[in-house]
């Protein structure tokens, strides 16, 4: 099974990143139709409409803000049939809530990507309901150009994935900014400190992705006893300061996802 016709309903930052990743991965633009009232133009070969057309699609990707779901669900009805797979990137909107609003669809997949989908480097947390094996393989094939898919055993784990992989890039960007600001505070030119911080994180991330060793072992290799790295790590590790800060950050993001889910159940 292949999704030959894909409707992207709402093509903002995340939907646009996924579309960019698909096109960069070699998928035919003619497979995609975008419905977005605000988008100025779509990539060449992609159909851009202002309203949902009167035809069915193999897959429909929901890329709108969660609070708009009730407002647009009726308008989407003509695009979704029993053989359609509904793909949702709406944070906090559970499968049961989606099924209640789109009763015609036979299969639903919640996806939690991040903006690195545009370059094929996104983690993708997945939870599905109603999929047969052919549809699941089709979902895997569709998402392959965007990054690494991880199917989850239970839907409630999506809140944790959202906190870690969905919101995580923003936390990493804050850390990059903090590295740059720290370098500037030591006397480096701010622009130079920014370049060095970006390059440092890029290289470390690429090495971590390519290495069979875990991050703790990689950190150990960089650290000479009594050296400069050890002095800096002593600050991060004192009273588990960094670990506690990150845990609290992820918990706050996860808990907000649970609140959104409760609101969507309404």
Question: Which domains are present in the chain?
Answer: 6-154 (3.40.50.720), 168-260 (1.10.3730.10)
Copy the structure tokens of residue 26.
């070699």
Closest among 155, 65, 167, 87 to 122, alpha carbons compared:
167
| pLDDT band, residue 42 (cuts 50/70/90) | very high
What kind and span of H or E run contains 197?
Answer: helix 190-210
Mean local confidence (pLDDT), 18-25: 98
Q: Give me 212's structure tokens.
A: 């069979």
pLDDT bracket for residue 257 (50, 70, 90) = confident
Give me the mean pLDDT over the 195-224 stretch.
96
- Model pLDDT, residue 266: 67
The predicted model gives 126-155 an average pLDDT of 96
The torsion region of residue 25 among left (phi > 0), alpha (psi -120 to 50) and beta comes to: alpha
Give per-residue pLDDT as tens, 198-208: 999 999 999 99
In the predicted model, is pLDDT for residue 215 greater than 70?
yes
Q: Return the pLDDT at 263.
A: 81
CB 142 within 8 Å of CB 59: yes
Secondary structure of residue 126 in the 3-state scheme:
strand
Cα–Cα dist 94/109, whole Å:
10
CA 82 to chain centre: 27
Q: State residue 259's pLDDT score.
A: 87
Whether the full predicted model's pTM is greater than 0.85, yes or no, is: yes
Residue 157 has pLDDT above 70, yes or no: yes
Q: Average of pLDDT values for 27-36?
A: 98
Backbone phi and psi for residue 128, each to the nearest 5 degrees, phi listed first: -130, 160
Average pLDDT over residues 237-245: 96
pLDDT number for residue 194: 98
Percent of the chain scoring above 70 in pLDDT: 100
pLDDT value at position 91? Answer: 86
pLDDT score of 66: 87
**Beta strand pairing status for 122-129 and 107-112?**
antiparallel
Q: What is the spatial order of strands in the sheet that 147-151 belongs to?
A: 47-49, 32-35, 6-9, 59-62, 85-88, 107-112, 122-129, 147-151
Instruction: Give residue-wise pLDDT tens across range 61-113.
Output: 999 998 899 999 999 988 999 999 999 999 889 999 999 999 999 899 999 99
pLDDT band at 253 (very low <50, low <70, confident <90, very high): very high
C-alpha 229/C-alpha 223 separation (Å) is 5
């Amino acid at each position: 099974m292949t999704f030959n016709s894909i409707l992207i309903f709402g093509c903002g930052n995340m939907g646009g990143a996924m579309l960019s990743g698909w096109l960069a991965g070699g998928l035919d633009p003619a497979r995609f139709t975008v419905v977005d009232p605000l988008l100025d133009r779509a990539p060449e070969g992609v159909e851009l409409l202002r309203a949902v057309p009167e035809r069915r699609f193999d897959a429909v990707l929901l890329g709108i803000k969660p609070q708009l779901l009730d407002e647009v669900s009726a308008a989407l009805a003509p695009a979704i049939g029993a053989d359609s797979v509904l793909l949702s990137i709406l944070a906090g909107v559970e499968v049961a809530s989606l099924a209640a609003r789109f009763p015609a669809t036979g299969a639903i997949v919640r996806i939690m990507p991040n903006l690195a989908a545009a370059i094929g480097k996104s983690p993708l947390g997945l939870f599905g309901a109603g999929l047969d094996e052919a549809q699941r393989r089709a979902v895997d094939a569709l998402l392959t150009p965007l990054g690494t898919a991880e199917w989850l055993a239970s839907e409630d784990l999506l809140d944790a994935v959202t906190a870690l992989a969905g919101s995580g890039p923003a936390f990493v960007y804050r850390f990059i900014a903090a590295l740059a600001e720290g370098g500037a505070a030591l006397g480096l030119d701010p622009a130079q400190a920014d370049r060095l911080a970006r390059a440092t994180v890029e290289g470390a991330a690429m090495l971590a992705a390519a290495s069979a060793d875990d991050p703790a072992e990689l950190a150990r290799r960089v650290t000479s006893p009594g050296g400069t790295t050890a002095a800096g790590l002593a600050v991060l590790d004192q009273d588990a300061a960094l670990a506690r800060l990150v845990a609290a950050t992820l918990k706050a993001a996860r808990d907000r996802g649970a609140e959104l889910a409760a609101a969507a159940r309404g």
